[in-house]
Amino acid sequence: MKKCIQCGAEALELTTFEHTIEAAGRTFTATLPTLRCGKCGETYTSDADLERAELAAAKTLADSGEVSGATFRAMRHALGFNVKALAEVLGVAPETIPRGARRARRRPPRPAGRLCVAHARRDRTPAAAATPPLPAP
C-alpha cells in the first residue's frame, strides 16, 4: 500500500497502535503495526495482524485453564467457527454445543480507517481455521 485511500497522499509511515480485545470478561491489548497517513492521519492495519491478536488472546484464555461458556465462546470466535462448523469438527449435533458457548459475541469496533493490507478476511472453513497461525511479529 503506497497511497492513502482517504486523501491519496503518499505520506504513509509505519507506526503502531494499541488494539484492545474484550473477551470472556478480560481485556487484552496488542501493539500492532499500522500505516498512518502523514497528511490526513488515517490509519491502516491488516486483518492478518488483527486476527493474530485475537488468536493470541484466545490462546491466553486457553492457557489460563478457565472453563466457562465465555472462554469457550471467545476461543470459538477467535478460530472463526460458527456453532455449526464447531459441531461438525467435534462430530456432534449443533444442539449439543452448550448454550453459553453459542451466544454470538459482538466484535468490538475496529479502528477507523482499518484496511485489509495483507489479506482479505478469509471465509474460515474448519480446514482453513486448522491452519496454524503465523508467528506474531
Q: Does 42 bind Zn ion (CB under 5 A)?
A: yes
Q: How many chain residues are in contact with Zn ion, going by CB under 5 A? A: 8
Q: Does 6 bind Zn ion (CB under 5 A)?
A: yes
Q: Does 35 bind Zn ion (CB under 5 A)?
A: no
Shortest gap between Cβ of 58 and Zn ion (angstroms)?
33
C-alpha cell at 49: 495482524
Q: Does 40 bind Zn ion (CB under 5 A)?
A: yes
C-alpha cell at 79: 478460530
Using the rule CB under 5 A, which residue among 23, 32, 37, 53 binds Zn ion? 37
* Contact residues: Zn ion, CB under 5 A: 4, 6-7, 9, 37, 39-40, 42
